[in-house]
A = this chain, B = another copy of it.
Amino acid sequence: MQDELQEASRKTPGQRARMSEVERLRHSCAHVMATAIARLWPDAQFAAGPPVENGFYYDVDLAHRISPADFEKIEAEMRAVTKANQPFERIVVTRAEALEYARRGRLAALSDRPAPSRFKLDILEGIPDGEPISFFRNGEFIDLCAGPHVMRTGNVGAFKLTHVASAYYKNDEKNPQLQRIYGTAFKNKTEMEAWFTMLEEAKKRDHRKIGAEMGLFAFDPDYTGPGLPLWLPKGGAMIEELEKLARETEFAAGYVRVRTPHIAREKMYLTSGHLPYYAESMFPPMELIEHEDQGARALHDPDDKFDRVLKSLQYEQHSPKEVEELVGKILGASAEAKHADADRYYLKAMNCPHHHRIFAAEPRSYRDLPLRLAEHGCCYRYEQSGELFGLMRVRSLNMNDAHIYCTTEQFAAEFNAVNEMYLKYFKIFGLEKYQMRFSTSAPEGMGKKYVDEPALWKQTEDMVRDVLKNSGINFVEAANEAAFYGPKIDVQVWSAIGREFSIATNQVDFAVPKRFGLVYRDRDNTEKTPLCIHRAPLGTHERFIGFLIEHYAGNFPLWLAPEQVRVLTIGDDAALVDYARGIVNELRANMVRVETDFGADKINGKVQRAEQSRVHTMLVIGPRDMAANAVSVRVHGKGNQGARPRTQAVADILAAIKGRTN
C-alpha cells in the first residue's frame, strides 16, 4: 500500500520508547547537558529531553537567552560531567512520593537539588495509573524520566551542541515558550568526526542544489502548487531510464503492466479503509452534485449524520468495529444513490485500490495466479506545507508500484523474488549497505491497531521471517510496527557518503483484498481470497532521484546521465564538424542522449564547460582523430581515456548503456 513511503523517517512516540543503542546514548547526553545547564544557570527548569533523528534536544525554561556563543561554556561543563563518569541511577517511586517531590521539591529517597520543575508535575499527571514512575539521577542532577540510559556519564564518548530554537511546551502555542537546545552524541570522537564530515559532504551533494544546477527539476509553488515538482527535460530523461529499468526487470520477472486513472469515487476509499483513517493525508474531494436526485444528494448533505460522523472520526476514538459499521451504512446510502455523477471524487493517494478493481474486473482462477500488476502510478498526498522538503517530501509521488496477488503456497517464492529484485537494483546502483526492517504485529494491538486475524498474522509473519532467514538478507525485526493489514518491510539503504535513506516498503496484505471481495476459484472449486504483496523497490521517482543525486553527487553513470555524451571539436573546420556530426547521428540513432559543441572557441573551454555540466562522456575530435577514423575519449571526473577507433568508442558507449555499468 506504500502508505509508509514518506513516513518511514518519522518516529512515533511508540518507537521512541524502544530506544536503540545510539538513542540511549544520545538521551543520556541530554541529561549530561541538563546537568551542565543547571550548574551554569541554577534557575533552569527542564521539560522534555528526547533523542531525535541524529541527536537529541532538551527543552529548558530559563531567564538567560542561550545562544551558540554559550555552547563552548556548556560543552566544557558537560566534559566535566562525563569525565566524572557518574553512574545513571534509576529510582522507582510511588505516585504519592513523586507528587510530593514535584510539589514541594523534596523526595525522601533523593537529595532534592535542583529545584523541582513545574513542567514535571504536568508530565507526572500524564503518566497513566499502574505504569511505573521512575527518576534518573547522575551526580547532583535528578530528573523524572522513563529512561533507558547508558551505565555512566563516561559512556558518552563524544558530543557537540548544534543549534538552539524556540518551542512551545508540548508544541502547543497556548503553553509557555521554551528554549530547545539541540546536540548530538556518539560512542567516540572518530564516529563523530565521520558524521560531521558526512554532513559537510551531504551539504555539497544537496539534491536541491545539484538538481537546480543540472536543470533536473523545478518547483513552481505559485502556479502549479508547493510540493509538486515539474520535471525538466534532464530530469525527465532520468525518469525515462528508471522506468525502462523497471519495465525490463519486471518483464523478466513475469509482471504485466496496467494503467489506472488518478481519481476514484469516494466508495473506493471507503471500501479500502483509507477513508476515514487516511483522509487527512489525501487531497480534499472534488464534489460533483449536478443531479437533483435525492439519493445522491443525501450523501453530501452537510447535516447528514453519517457524513458528519465520518468527518469527525479519529482512529483513536472509535473501535475498528464501529468504523466498519458506519462505513457500511454510508456505502449502503451510496448504493441507493442513482447517479454515479453526484459523488465525491478523490485524487488517489495509492494505486492498490485501482489494482484491486483490475483483479476484480475478470473472473480469476488459481491458474491465473500469481498475477503481478505493475504500474508507474502517480499518487497525490496532502503533506502539510511545513513538512515539504525538496524531492524528499512532496505531494505528487510517481511510484514504482506493483501488487502481486498469490495463493498462500506461492507466497514464499513471490516474496523471495521481490527481495531478490531489490538486491539486483542495489547492485546496479552500487548500494553496498542496506537493511530490511521487518515490522510485525503485537498481541496487544489485535483488533485495534491490527486487523483481528491472529492466525493470519502468525502465518504471514512466519512466512516472511522464513524467507528473510533463508535468503541470508540483512534484516532486523521490529515488533508492533506493522501496517493495519499485515506485516511489512521497510527498506533502508545507505548512500555513498553513508547517509541512511528509507527508500521503499514491501507489505503483505491479507485484509484489503477481502474488503474488496477479491476471490479466485481454487483447484477444489471453492472461492478463496488471494494474498497481496505491495512492493515498490525503486520507491518514488521523487525520493529515489533525490537519493541518487546525493549518492552520485550528480555524477550519474552513463546510462542514467541526462547528457550522456557530448561531442567536442577542436576548432570548427567544416570537414571536422562533418565527421563529428556523423558520430553524433550514429549515437542518436541508437537513442543516446548526445549534445554537440562545434564552435570556434578553444577546446579547453569546451571541456571545462562539459565537465561543469557533468556530461558523462566527452568525445573530443581533432584533425588527428579524424585522420585515424578515431575519437579521443574523456570521462567526467576521470579525465582523458585516450584515443579509440570510432567504431570501438561507439560500441563501448552502447554496451555500457545497455549493461548499465559504470
Check A591–B230 contact: CB distance below 8 A.
no
**A366: CB under 8 A from chain B?**
no
| Number of copies of this protein chain within its complex | 2
Partner of A354, one of B230, B240, B248: B230
Contact A286 B288, CB 8 Å, known A256-B237, A264-B225: no
B residues in contact with A437, CB < 8 Å = none
User: Judging by beta carbons under 8 Å apart, are A231 and B258 in contact?
Assistant: yes
Q: Kindly state whether residue A283 has any CB partner on chain B within 8 Å.
A: yes
Q: A183 at the A/B interface (Cβ < 8 Å)? A: no
Query: In the complex, what residues of B have CB within 8 A of residue A288's CB?
Result: 283-284, 382
Q: How far does the Cβ of A207 sit from chain B's closest Cβ, in whole Å?
A: 17
Q: Contacts of A382 on B, CB cut-off 8 Å? A: 288
Q: Which residues of B contact A220 (CB under 8 A)?
A: 357, 361
Assembly CA distance A286 to B279 (angstroms): 14
Q: Which residues of chain B are within 8 angstroms of A226 by Cβ–Cβ distance?
A: 340-341
Q: Which of B223, B236, B248, B353 contacts A259 (CB 8 A)?
A: B236
Nearest CB on B from A605, distance (A): 16
Q: Mark each residue of chain A from 347 to 365: 1 if its CB lies under 8 Å from any CB of chain B, else 0.
A: 1000001100110011000
A225's partner among B223, B225, B265 (CB-CB below 8 A) is: B265
Chain A interface, DSSP helix/strand/loop, else mixed: mixed
Interface string of A214-244 (1 = CB under 8 A from B): 0100101111111011111101110110000
Q: Do B340 and A225 touch across chains, with their CB atoms under 8 A apart?
A: yes
Which residues of chain B come closer than 8 Å to A235, judged between CB atoms? 259
A469 at the interface (CB under 8 A from B): no
Give A261 to B226 CA distance when docked, in angstroms.
11
Query: Which chain B positions have C-beta within 8 A of A347?
Result: 262-263, 286, 347
Q: If A262-B378, A284-B288, A378-B262 touch, does A236 touch B256 (CB 8 Å cutoff)?
A: yes
Q: Interface digits, A505-541 against B, CB 8 Å rule (1 contact, 0 not)?
A: 0000000000000000000000000000000000001
Q: Are B248 and A236 in contact (CB under 8 A)?
A: no
**CB-defined contacts of A589 to chain B, threshold 8 Å:** 252
Report whether B225 and A357 are in contact in the complex, using a CB–CB cutoff of 8 Å.
Answer: no
CB distance from A161 to the nearest CB of B (A): 34
Q: Does A177 contact B (CB under 8 A)?
A: no
Interface string of A423-438 (1 = CB under 8 A from B): 0000000000000000
User: Does A44 belong to the interface (CB within 8 Å)?
Assistant: no
A265 and B223 contact, CB distance less than 8 A: yes
Given contacts A230-B361, A237-B257, A358-B230, contact A268 B223 (CB under 8 A): yes
Residue numbers in B under 8 Å from A222 (CB-CB): 265, 267, 340
A237-B256, A261-B228 in contact; A248/B591 too (CB < 8 A)? yes
Complex Cα spacing A231 to B378, Å? 15
Is A398 an interface position by the 8 A CB rule?
yes
Task: Please indicate the chain B residues that have their CB under 8 angstroms from the CB of A223 in the complex.
Answer: 264-265, 267-268, 271, 353, 357
Closest B residue to A289 using CB positions: B284
With known contacts A218-B358, A236-B258, A343–B247 Cβ distance under 8 A: no
Which among A221, A232, A248 has the greatest number of chain B C-beta atoms within 10 A? A232
> In the bound complex, what is the Cα–Cα distance between A248 and B591 (angstroms)?
8
Cβ of A588 within 8 Å of any chain B Cβ, yes or no, is yes
Interface string of A590-602 (1 = CB under 8 A from B): 0100000000000
A362 partner residues in chain B, CB cutoff 8 A: 215, 218, 232
Does A613 interact with chain B (Cβ within 8 Å)? no
Tell me the chain A residues, 278-311 only, with Cβ under 8 Å from chain B: 283-288
* Shortest distance between the CB of A80 and any CB in chain B (Å): 48
The answer to whether A46 has its CB under 8 Å from any CB of chain B is no
Chain B residue with Cβ nearest A236: B257
Number of interface residues of A (CB under 8 A): 67
Q: How far is the CB of A262 from chain B (nearest CB, A)?
A: 5
Q: For A260, what are the chain B residues with a Cβ–Cβ distance below 8 Å? A: 224, 230-231
Q: What 1/0 mask marks residues of chain A from 527 to 559 whose CB sits below 8 Å from any chain B CB?
A: 000000000000001000000000000000000
Tell me the minimal C-beta distance from A545 to chain B in angstroms. 11
Which B residue's beta carbon lies closest to that of A291? Answer: B385
Q: Would you give the shortest CB distance from A658 to chain B, in whole angstroms?
A: 13
Interface: A345 (CB within 8 A): yes
Give CA–CA (A361, B218) in the complex, Å. Answer: 7
The smallest beta-carbon distance between A544 and chain B, in angstroms, is 14
Q: How far is the CB of A444 from chain B (nearest CB, A)?
A: 34
Binary B-proximity of A383-411 (CB < 8 A = 1, otherwise 0): 00100000000001010000000000000
Q: Which residues of B contact A262 (CB under 8 A)?
A: 262, 347, 378, 380, 396
Contact: B341 with A373, CB < 8 Å?
no
* Cross-chain contact A258 with B233 (CB below 8 angstroms): yes
Q: Which residue of B lies closest to A260 (CB)?
A: B230
Q: Does A251 contact B (CB under 8 A)?
A: yes
User: Once the chains are docked, how many angstroms separate the CA of A271 from the CA of B224?
Assistant: 12
Contacts of A247 in B (CB 8 A): 240
**Bound Cα distance from A396 to B264, whole angstroms:** 11
Residues of B close to A361: CB separation below 8 A: 218, 220, 230, 232
Residues of B within 8 A of A286 (CB): 283-286, 347
Complex interface: chain B residues within 8 A of A339 (CB): 385
* Interchain CA distance A6-B362 in the complex, whole Å: 29
Cβ A225 vs Cβ B258 within 8 A: no
CB distance from A393 to the nearest CB of B (A): 15
Q: A236-B256, A286-B285, A361-B232 are in contact. Are A265 and B224 (CB under 8 A)?
A: yes
- The 9 A-B residue pairs with the shortest CB-CB distance in the complex, in nearest-first order: A233-B256, A231-B259, A218-B361, A236-B257, A228-B261, A223-B268, A236-B258, A261-B396, A284-B286
Knowing that A228-B261, A230-B358, A284-B288 touch, tell me 15 more A-B residue pairs with CB under 8 angstroms. A222-B265, A223-B264, A230-B258, A230-B261, A230-B357, A231-B259, A251-B588, A251-B591, A252-B589, A259-B541, A262-B380, A263-B283, A263-B396, A283-B345, A347-B347
Q: Can you show 17 pairs from A to B with CB atoms below 8 A apart?
A: A218-B358, A218-B361, A223-B268, A224-B268, A225-B345, A228-B263, A230-B259, A231-B258, A231-B259, A233-B257, A235-B259, A236-B259, A237-B256, A240-B257, A252-B589, A284-B286, A286-B347
